[in-house]
Structure 1
Amino acid sequence: MADTVHSTTSGATGRAEGNLVTRFFRATEIDTRMLGMIGALLIIWIGFHILTGGLFLTPRNLWNLSVQTASVAVMATGMVLVIVTRNIDLSVGSILGFTGMIMGVLQSRFLPELLGFNHPALWIIALTGGIIVGGLIGTLHGVIIAFLGVPSFIVTLGGLLIWRGATWFVTSGQTVAPMDANFRLMGGGTEGSIGATWSWVVGAIACIGIVAAIINARRQRKRFAFPRRPIWAEYVLVALGCVIVLGAVSIANDYYWPVNIARRYADANGIAWPEGGLLISHGIAIPVLIAIAAGIVMTFIATRLRFGRYVFAIGGNPEAAELAGIKTRWVTVKIFALMGVLCAIAAAISTARLNAATNAQGELDELYTIAAAVIGGTSLAGGIGSIAGAMLGALVMQSLQSGMVLLGIDTPFQRIVVGAVLVVAVWLDTVYRAKAK
């Protein structure tokens, strides 16, 4: 029995064979919509690189771009499930600010009095406390939406105002700093990255994971008698994935420690300062690894667990899902609870990166998070969404913001651009769904 059968009529065979591009995408099953988004991202990168005089596509800026994207990317993975079920969450930025302040107060004021400064468990307790608070806030939102029948727009709009105000009341508007040294590692920076060697190890593990995932998918298709991709298409996907991963690792390793920090490190460790300077690679930043881990876990939840199937079933047809026996109310509660947990994780990244918890932290992050999910292919009509697409959308949004900052564009105009991009993304989603019918 042939591995893959893409049957066509004799009249269509000539046309299919004549269009190599169509045959390639059909065989590899690459999402052309995702490919279009990657193309748009490359255009943005190249455009900003030219306009900034070669500053944008440098290892330093790309490394910083990945770190800046991490917190929004984490929240965007949860926003996908929220929007897929035809809901919205406008409170994510305020929840980020509130949970970040809670974690900041715990590790800078309360826990040191109980455990002492620099206690090894201090950051763990603070992080756990923030995640619990985020989960409880999300659960509260979900219960009000699911069991009291209040629209998610109103509940989370109220949450946006309530939790932003609560953030101020925690410390009466004061900034809390500094954070615990171990906690700060989650924010990136010189110490918050894993170095060249471990970055290559992570890259190798990722490549092995890509190969294993494709082999497993092929076995599953064979098991259920589904058509399989040609062998050459599988090799192309493996090669493409590994090239992207190893290329990203190479860029991360090409960004070296600043001279002053490297010199202090050399002096502290008795290392002779070489004539050309000491080149120590940053490697992959820890917040980027956290975001990738969140993306993997959320993809598994959305595509492999029964809960994920319920989410997409509810988004596709809520009435049919209810009649099929799905407890739609409890699924909604779980989605918002999960969103709250992801906001707390994003808050940890943001607070650690700033080395402070501020009253304004997370402002407008709800806009960037929603925009990332929509740009990534999540339909506001419900039932359609992609975790990977949302994370790529977060990178697009942050690329726009980073590029405009390098160009010295004022903040008000940056917001105009972001708002315009969001409107265009929704319009394109409407056009795409209309053509798909």
Structure 2
Amino acid sequence: MADAASRQRAASPLTVNGFLRATEIDTRMLGMLGALAVIWIGFHLASGGTFLTPRNLWNLSVQSASIAVMATGMVLVIVTRNIDLSVGSMLGFIGMTMGVMQAEWLPTIWGYDHPLTWIVALAFGVGVGVAIGALHGWVIAYLGVPAFIVTLGGLLAWRGGAWWVTSGRTVAPMDGTFALIGGGVQGSIGAAASWAIALAACAAILAGLWFGRLRRRSFGFPLRPLWAEGVLGLLGCGAVLAAVAVFNTYPWPSRVAERWAEANGTVVPEGGFAHGLAIPVLVALAVGVGMTFLATRTRFGRYVFAIGGNPEAAELAGVDVAWVKMKVFMLMGGLVALGAAISTARLNAATNAQGQLDELYVIAAAVIGGTSLAGGAGTIAGAMIGAVVMQSLQSGMVLMGLDTPLQNIVVGLVLVVAVWVDTMYRGRKA
């Protein structure tokens, strides 16, 4: 009787354990969100109230986009028990090639600001990224060289390659349309479009919960209580609407708004023009959704996690382990190219210092987000939140005026602590 009463209390929504069981919220994800809230509040107080402002949060979202995009690929790399230390150097090299193409090569063919320039430059960059990833993956998967060594060599080689392309010159400016990928005043979609996307996202969240419930019922799996489904829908939609509301309260600079209004024969409304969601944030969210689907709803995703769990068993089950690993690194290269496009467009220039230490931020984001370095476990959503955590630390330290060496020390400590927490968490679950 006592055991039955204990189980009943655990299932009650009035207890923490009962609430978490009913809603099936990942406790690790919940802890990460709690840590993010502590970081935000702490920096807000320490910076004199400048951190939790629409302007800083909007900039934080844009700055996190590139790392978040690459972190989604790093999840699959680490899940397969590999690592990629070259992503920062790859970003610098690919960004430089895309910059040279649109600033120097293509203008000699069809002039500046041609409507195809940004498309060709982006496609070329993604192609270069996939090719580099294929090279890394082939050496790792088919020649048997450890990923640590291959990508460490790539870290050095591609950084040197970025310098070699222009002999150390900074390339600027970028194509006007390409620059929109980096955000900025013109690289945001405004209030009305942001609300439309928010409502569409809420509809997608509710539809996902509903069809997920139908799918569980069709397979005879246990169903969440209806109140738990409602809570999840409320939390998801509330987070989306709150984020859009914050971004819509960040107006354009007054002079920019006045010049735009004058050029377009209109007047600046009271409160100014709102930024809304930035294009790089939309790109990162789209990549996150796509990568989540790839990891959880496709045969390729199942193969990736099977290899991470037990490579020998996966091979005996008929999985072409080497080919899957090579495809993972090709995907990583393509995502690095997208990250390079966002970073280059945001700076409106390609520099040799671009992407330095990004490999640290990307790996830390994946690990903080719950990806186990032992392989076989990880989530895309967790890695993207981890990217926000890492960027929040950097942004907060910049607001406080901390020197770059001290910032690197803090980031290094966070990475070590994240791995330690992961080790403890896996040990307790075992």
Q: Which amino acid aligns with 1:117?
A: Y
Q: Which residue of 2 aligns with 1:88?
A: 83
Contact 1:68 1:398 (8 Å CA) reproduced? yes
Q: Take 1:279 and 1:230, find their aligned partners in 2: how far apart are those partners? A: 45
How many Å separate the matches in 2 of 1:15 and 1:132?
A: 56
Instruction: Find the residue that maps to 2:106 and give its secondary structure.
Output: helix
AA at the equivalent of 2:398: V
AA of the residue aligned to 1:404: M
- Secondary structure (helix, strand or coil) at the match of 1:54 reads coil
Q: Distance in 2 between matches of 1:80 and 1:86?
A: 10
Deviations 1:322-355 (A, max 9, x none): 1111000000000000000000000000000000
Structure 1: how far apart are the matches of 2:241 and 2:311? 42
Q: Give the match for residue 61 of structure 1.
A: 56
**1:12 and 2:9 correspond:** no
C-alpha displacement of 1:268: 1.4
SS of the aligned residue for 1:104 comes to helix
Tell me whether 1:244 sits opposite 2:239 in the alignment. Answer: yes
Structure 2: distance between partners of 1:273 and 1:338: 44
Residue 290 in structure 1 maps to residue 278 in structure 2: no
Q: Does 1:338 align with 2:334?
A: no
Report the Cα offset of residue 9 of structure 1: 5.6
* Matches of 1:278 and 1:309, distance apart in 2: 50
1:324 equivalent in alignment to 2:317: yes
Preserved CA contact (<8 Å) 2:11 2:19: no
* Contact 1:195-1:281 within 8 A present in 2 as well: yes
Q: Could you tell me whether the CA contact under 8 Å between 1:263 and 1:278 is conserved in 2? A: no
In 2, the alpha carbon distance for the partners of 1:281 and 1:125 equals 31
Once residues 304 and 19 of structure 2 are traced to their aligned partners in structure 1, the CA distance between those partners, rounded to angstroms, is: 32
Letter of the 2:118 counterpart: W
Equivalenced residues, count: 428
Against the structure 1 CA distance between its residues 251 and 278, is the aligned structure 2 distance closer, same or farther, given a 3 Å change threshold?
A: closer
Deviation at 1:13, TM superposition (A): 3.6
Q: In structure 2, what is the Cα distance between the partners aligned to 1:247 and 1:425?
A: 28
1:3 matched residue in structure 2: none
**Residue of structure 2 in register with 1:226 after alignment:** 221
1:310 lines up with 2:326 in the alignment:
no
Q: Which residue of 2 aligns with 1:402?
A: 395
2:84 match: secondary structure: coil
The corresponding residue for 2:407 is 414
Superposition deviation, residue 250 in structure 1: 0.3
Does the 8 A contact of 2:11 with 2:18 survive in 1? Answer: yes
Check whether the contact 1:262–1:278 (CA below 8 A) recurs between aligned residues. Answer: no
How far apart are 1:266 and its partner, in Å?
Answer: 2.0
- For 2:4, the aligned partner's letter is S
Distance in 2, matches of 1:399 and 1:162, equals 30
Shift of 1:208: 0.6
Alignment root-mean-square deviation, CA:
1.2
Percent identity for Structure 1 against Structure 2: 66
1:391 — aligned with what?
Answer: 384
What residue in structure 2 maps to residue 214 of structure 1? 209
Instruction: Provide the C-alpha distance between the structure 1 equivalents of 2:288 and 2:212, rounded to a whole number of angstroms.
Output: 19
For structure 1, which segment, 121-130 or 110-119, has the greater mean C-alpha deviation from structure 2 after superposition?
Answer: 110-119
Structure 1 portions without partners, runs of 5+: 1-7
* 3-state SS, counterpart of residue 233 of structure 2: helix
Which sections of structure 2, spanning at least 5 residues, go unmatched? Answer: none
